[in-house]
Amino acid sequence: MRTVIKNGHVIDIKSGLNKVTDIVIEDGIVASVEENADILGAEVIDAEGLYVVPGLIDAHCHLRDPGFEYKEDIETGTKSAAKGGFTSVACMPNTNPVIDNETVVNYIKDKAAREGYVHVFPIGAISKGLKGELLSEIGELKFAGAVGISDDGKPVVSSGLMKKALIYSSMFDITVISHCEDMSLVEEGVMNEGYNSTIMGLKGIPSAAEETMIARDLILSEYTGVPIHIAHVSTKLGIQLIRDAKKRGVKVTCETCPHYFSLTDDSCLGFNTLAKVNPPLRRQEDVDAVIEGLKDGTIDIIATDHAPHHKDEKNLEFGYAANGMVGFETALPLAITNLYHKGHMSLEAIIEKMTINPAKMLGLAKGDISVGKMCDITIFDANKEYTVDISKFESKSKNSPFDGYSVKGAVKYTIVDGNIVVRDGMLM
C-alpha cells in the first residue's frame, strides 16, 4: 500500500519542515518526504493549496464511555474527532465506572482498538471514584496505559492529596492535569460573575474561583518540583499567574480551549444553555488575555474539552443545565478563524499547540512527521469558508454554541496509521 500526498504545504514543528513538498506513505509508515515523489502505483492525494500537518492531538476530551453512552461513545466520539482532524485524543476519567483502575483503562483501549477511528489515550483519575479522598493506584493506571491523571470536572480540594498526587506522579513519570476550581468561591454560581450574570439574575462564578486554585497548584508544583498541567485556563489573572510561575522556573504547562478565545459570556444572554461550560465563558478582557497567553507561549496547548451532553440535559433552566460543549469538529476552524485570520498567530504556532505540545505533555511519541514512524497526518484548507451546521456533526451530541457561526478553515483529510479516515471532508 503506497499513498503519496502531493504538493501540500507541509508544516512539521519538530523537524522545522515548512514548505511545499510530497509525502510518501508505505504500509502505514512515512516512507519519505521529498519533492517530485514517484506516484507510480500509488494512491495520490492532491494537496495543492492545502496544509499538511502532523495529526492533531487533543489533550482533553470526554468520550463518555463507559457509562454515559447516550451522550457519546468511543465510536461516535472518535468519528467526531477524526472529522475535526484529530488523530489522537486523550479522554478524561469522569466516566462510570471512573477510570481509576486497570480494568477501565483496558476496556477503553480494547474498545478503541476495535471501534475507534483515531488513537485513544485514557487519562486516569487522581482520586478513587473522583471523590477527592484517596489516591487511585497511579502506578497501576500508568502501567495499564494511562497518559495522565486528572479529576477533571472536579477540583482536588485537599492540598495534601494534590501534593501526594504530584509526588507519586513523578515516581511513575505521568503528568498531573488539574481542573482548577475552588467550590467554596463558586457556591451556587452558574455563569461568569459580572454584568451579564447580574442582568440575567443568575448567581455568578468569580474568576477568583479558578485563579486561587491555579495559585495553589503552582505553589504545590514549585514546592515538590514536580511538573503540573493546568486544564482549560480562562481568566486574565490565571494566565498572569502561570506566566509569572514559568518565569521563576516552575514546571507548569497549560491549555485553553477554542471557546475561551472565541466567545464571551454575552453568548449566555437569552439563557442560552449551549454556552454553559465550566470554567464559564468570561469577559472580553479575559478573551484578549487568553489570546495574549497563546501568543507569548504562556499557554502551551489548544485542547477541545469536547463535552457532549444529551439535549434533555441542555433544554433546562440555565441553572439546571449541564456544563460543556462538543468541540472536536469546530476546534481547528475556530483556531484558524479567530487566531490566524485575525492576525494574532501564525499557522505554525497554532499547529505547535495542537500537535507536538500536547504530545510532549502527555509523553506520546507523536505530533511530528518523521520518516520511519507510523503516519498520522491532517490536511486542511486554511481559506475555505463555511457555516457551522451542528446537524452535520458526527458526535452523538450536538451541544455547540457555534451553530450558524461563519468560519474560515476546513479539515480535508485525516490519516491515521496511514489509513485515510476522512477524505475530502467526509468520514470514510
Active-site positions? 305
- 10 Å CB burial of residue 87 (0-12, 13-18, 19+) is buried
Phi-psi region of 159 (alpha: psi -120 to 50; beta: other; left: phi over 0): alpha
Choose between 88 and 278: whose C-beta lies nearer to ligand DOR.
278
Choose between 239 and 422: whose C-beta lies nearer to Zn ion.
239
Q: What does the longest C-alpha to C-alpha distance in the chain come to?
A: 67
Q: How far is the CB of 271 from ligand DOR (least distance, A)?
A: 17
Is the separation of the CB atoms in 146 and 174 below 8 Å? yes
Under the binding rule (CB under 5 A), the answer on residue 276 touching Zn ion is no
* Contacting residue, 76, 78, 87, 94, with ligand DOR by CB under 6 A: 94
* Contacting residue, 50, 53, 191, 277, with ligand DOR by CB under 6 A: 277
Q: In what order do the strands lie in the sheet with 175-178?
A: 148-150, 175-178, 228-230, 252-256, 301-302
Q: Bridge-partner residues for 252, per DSSP?
A: 228
Q: Within 117-156, which residues bind Zn ion (CB under 5 A)?
A: 152
399 touches which of Zn ion, ligand DOR, none (CB within 5 to 8 A by kind)?
Answer: none
d(CA 305, CA 180): 14
* Contacting residue, 71, 109, 179, 353, with Zn ion by CB under 5 A: 179
Q: In what order do the strands lie in the sheet with 56-61?
A: 56-61, 86-91, 119-122
Dihedral sign for Cα atoms in the order 235, 240, 243, 245: negative
Q: How far is the CB of 309 from ligand DOR (least distance, A)?
A: 6
Choose between 94 and 267: whose C-beta lies nearer to ligand DOR.
94
* Contacting residue, 240, 323, 346, 419, with ligand DOR by CB under 6 A: 323
Q: Within 134-163, which residues bind ligand DOR (CB under 6 A)?
A: 152-153
Q: How far is the CB of 153 from ligand DOR (least distance, A)?
A: 4
Q: How far is the CB of 188 from ligand DOR (least distance, A)?
A: 17
Choose between 72 and 381: whose C-beta lies nearer to ligand DOR.
72
Cell of 111: 474498545
Phi-psi region of 160 (alpha: psi -120 to 50; beta: other; left: phi over 0): alpha
Is the separation of the CB atoms in 151 and 179 below 8 Å? yes
Contact residues for ligand DOR, defined by CB under 6 A: 62, 94, 152-153, 179, 277-278, 307, 323-324
Which residues lie near Zn ion (CB under 5 A)? 152, 179, 231
